[in-house]
Amino acid sequence: MAPTGSTTTAPGDLLVELSGITKSYGPVKSLRGVDLTLRRGEVLGLVGDNGAGKSTLMKVLAGAVQHDDGEIRVHGRPVRFSTPSEAQAEKIGIVYQDLALCDTLDVASNLFLGREPKRGPFIDRKAMHEQAARILADLHVKVTSTHQEIGTLSGGQRQTVAIARAVSFAPDVLILDEPTAALAVAEVESVLRLIGEVAAQGVGVILITHRLQDLFRVCDRITVMYEGQSVDDAAIADLDIEKLVGLITRTPQPTRTEGSRA
Amino acid sequence: MSTTQTPPEAPAGPSVQRLARQRSLWERTNKATLVMAGVTLAVFVFFALADSAFLTFANLSNLATQVGPVLIVGVAMTFVITAGQIDLSVGSIVAFVAAISAQLLVSGWDSSLVMVAALLMGLGWGLVNGWFTAYQGIPAFIVTLATLSVVRGLALFQTEGFSVPIASTTFVAKLGTARWLGFSATAWIALAVVVLGLVLLHATRFGQYVIGIGAAAESVRRAGVNVKLVTMAALGFSGLAAGLAGLLIAARLGSGSANSAQGFELTVIAAVVLGGTSLLGGRGTIVGTLIGALLTQIIANGLTLLSVSPYLTPIITGAVLVLVVWVNLRGRDLAWFVQRLTRRP
């Protein structure tokens, strides 16, 4: 149980409520009672040490993994996803760390993979590229052309294309798993700016990251997980990096601040 | 670069039109294919100068007929290889369909039924390959290596190794000798298959997913595409194409033999790879396959005209294959280098 959880807000604002989510893989209890809430237009940082259960929890919410116990409410309605497409139908989008792009297809083809606009039996490439360009321009994604092959893009560009793809499904909830890992500094900036743009459109964003400094750039609130449980939920304004490290490692006061700056 | 009249204070977002603008022809061209087209042209010119019989209409028409089966199966093989798979069984399927179709004709089946049966036999074997590969997760290399052995074996068993003659009065036999505008039915059908392949690969979702699967099957699967079905369809297509080629070869030769099309799969794969389709998957070109098929057959045809020992033909063809793929790889680097030099700041 989260000690500071269950803040009361207007139901319309609340996009997602997870309560008491559990998941076991055989004898391993990956999730042992997680609570989490997400509001419209909010960027929620989901943090915790390796193995805390962040990714598993997000897979549950995205329908890729089925939980054992607990309740998921989306827009106040209880739901249970058995496939990713069911989660997608509830307007929950996720960008996994591996991005799920095809290197030899161009940007537009990747944005519309699996739902290419058609004219008769054929792909309507003109419409596809125009729509892709509009999506990218709206989000200020920096690529030079929708005809560019994904394999020729930088890591940051690939990340932004993957996010743009997820956004183009018009999700209410967007889950980003380590979007800034292994990116150059300037590219981190563009990804963070994009996250801000997405949230500004009213999407609730859940950001999983190990880069704590990113959280202070874009997040409104942080949920901390520890050994399969949600242990803290705090507004970012009430935190600094030392306090946050303390929450993640469950040590009372700042101890490993130096290491966390990397 | 044209300067659009955006206010200077506007965010640096690129304009929709500029983003969606089609790239130049040079940028879109597969450089490996371009190099190969040059090589093919050079070889063509060489033979035209070396032997006066080469550049005659009769020989070029003959060449088109020879290219036909390689091209038909090569187009389908382009899909298989682009999807990151391989089909080693096409030669055996050609022989199987040729032999069994001839037997069916001998046993009194009507030509129309035999033609349908030939296509269905090819498709059937292709789907067997596809099912084991896509739904049972056995690598296509293994599956088609097994069917390579089994399918030809069945044909040999059934015909006891004898060539089965086709009566010249049957429609199938007439198809083998039919000509239109000086070119054989095989050549025209091959051309139609090329057009079909171009459209399928570049203008349909099927082609898009074949490319995507070759690049990252998991990404395509997560996009909600039935990856297994697409993979099976690609291998089904190559089986179907092999069936068609088998029928046409039997029709042209006037007999079906379980011993025909030995090493055919290697010729086809060579043609596809020469054309610039990546053996690693994710990149395929039908135009390239057309060029690759032409190159392999021009070499074979030209060497025959020059009365070179027939035993030299496979040696020269193999050497050219290595040479050309080598040039091909360097060609890609070269194109990249030229692009770097000519790119405006």
Claim to verify: residue A183 and residue A158 sit in the same structural domain: no
Domain end marker among A169, A196, A220: A169
Q: Is the whole-model pTM more than 0.90?
A: no
In this structure, is the dihedral angle defined by the CA atoms of residues B33, B37, B42 and B43, taken in order, positive or negative?
positive
pLDDT at B311: 85
What contacts B58, CB < 8 A, 6 or more positions away?
none
Do A111 and A152 fall within a single domain? yes
Same domain, A160 and A67: no
Judge if A230 and A243 occupy the same domain.
Answer: yes
pLDDT at res. A2: 37
Which segments within chain B are labelled E, that is strand? 164-165, 179-180, 183-184, 255-256
Does the pLDDT of residue B340 top 80, yes or no? Answer: no
Same domain, A158 and A177: no
Of chain B, the percentage scoring pLDDT greater than 70 comes to 90
CA distance A59 to A81: 10
> With an 8 Å Cβ cutoff, is B212 touching chain A?
yes
Average pLDDT over residues B138-150: 96
Give B204's contacts in chain A (Cβ within 8 Å). 121-123
Last residue of one domain, picked from the residues A148, A169, A190? A169
Q: Per the CB < 8 Å rule, is A102 touching B211?
A: yes
Read off the pLDDT band of B8 (50, 70, 90): very low
Q: Which long-range contacts (CB under 8 A, 24 or more apart) does A7-13 make?
A: A7/A37, A7/A233, A9/A39, A11/A76, A13/A39, A13/A40
Q: Which residues of A touch B (CB under 8 A)?
A: 84-85, 98-105, 108-109, 113-116, 118, 121-123, 125, 129-130, 132-134, 136-137, 140, 142-147
Give the residue on B whose Cα is nearest the Cα of A166: B223
Nearest-Cα residue of chain B relative to residue A95: B222
Asked if B280 contacts B49 with a C-beta cutoff of 8 angstroms, the reply is: no
Say whether pLDDT at B110 is over 80: yes
Q: How confident is the model at residue B2 (pLDDT cuts 50, 70, 90)?
A: very low
pLDDT tens track for B36-80: 899 899 999 999 999 999 999 999 999 999 999 999 999 999 999
Asked if residue A58 and residue A28 are part of one domain, the reply reads yes
A29 and A155 housed in the same domain: no
Contacts of B319-328 with CB under 8 Å at 24 or more apart are B320/B43, B320/B295, B321/B270, B321/B274, B324/B36, B324/B39, B324/B274, B324/B295, B325/B273, B325/B274, B327/B35, B327/B39, B328/B32, B328/B35, B328/B36, B328/B274, B328/B276
**A96, part of any domain:** no
pLDDT category of residue B295 using cuts at 50, 70 and 90: very high
**Domain harbouring A256, CATH code:** 3.40.50.300
**Do both A23 and A137 map to the same domain?**
no
pLDDT at B144: 97
The tens-digit pLDDT sequence of chain A (262 residues) is 333 333 443 434 889 999 999 999 989 999 999 999 999 999 999 999 888 899 899 999 998 889 999 999 999 899 999 888 889 899 999 998 888 899 999 999 999 999 999 999 999 999 999 999 999 988 888 888 999 999 999 988 999 999 999 999 999 999 999 998 878 888 898 899 999 989 998 999 999 998 999 999 999 999 999 999 999 898 988 888 888 888 888 876 544 444 444 3
Residue tagged 């039919």 (tokens): B178
Geometric angle at alpha carbon A222, from A259 and A54, rounded to 5°: 75
| Residue A5 resides in a domain | no
Burial (CB count within 10 angstroms: exposed 0-12, middle 13-18, buried 19+), residue B13 = middle
- Count of CB pairs separated by less than 8 Å, A with B: 99
Is the CB of B205 less than 8 angstroms away from the CB of A132?
no
- A32 and A132 co-located in one domain: no
The domains of chain B, with CATH numbers, are 31-329 (1.10.3470)
To the nearest 10°, the Cα dihedral for B321, B322, B324, B326? 160
Question: Residue A23's domain spans which residues?
Answer: 14-91+171-260
pLDDT score at B344: 54
| Overall number of domains in chain A | 2
The pLDDT of residue B279 is: 83
Q: Are A199 and A223 within one domain?
A: yes
B56: contact with A, CB 8 A cutoff: no
Q: Are residues A68 and A195 in the same domain?
A: yes
Query: In the listed set A127, A150, A169, which residue is the last one of a domain according to the structure?
Result: A169
- For strand A221-226 and strand A229-235, is the pairing parallel, antiparallel, or unpaired? antiparallel
Please state, in angstroms and rounded to a whole number, the distance separating the CA atoms of residues B269 and B292. 9
pLDDT beyond 60 at B94: yes
Q: Which of A105, A108, A114 sits opposite B224 (nearest CB)?
A: A114
Q: Is residue A100 part of a domain?
A: no
Q: Which residues of A touch B203 (CB under 8 A)?
A: 122-123, 125
How near does any CA of chain A get to the CA of B218, in Å? 7
ipTM of the complex: 0.84
- Residue-level pLDDT at A41: 92
In three-state secondary structure terms, B145 is helix
Would you say residue B339 has pLDDT above 80? no
Question: Residues B74, B236: contact at Cβ < 8 Å?
Answer: no
Q: Give the phi and the psi of residue B165 in degrees, each rounded to 5.
A: -75, 150
| Residue with more model confidence, B322 or B283 | B283
CA torsion, points A187, A191, A193, A199, in degrees to nearest 10? 180
Nearest Cα of chain B lies from the Cα of A205 at a distance, in angstroms, of 21
pLDDT of residue A50: 87
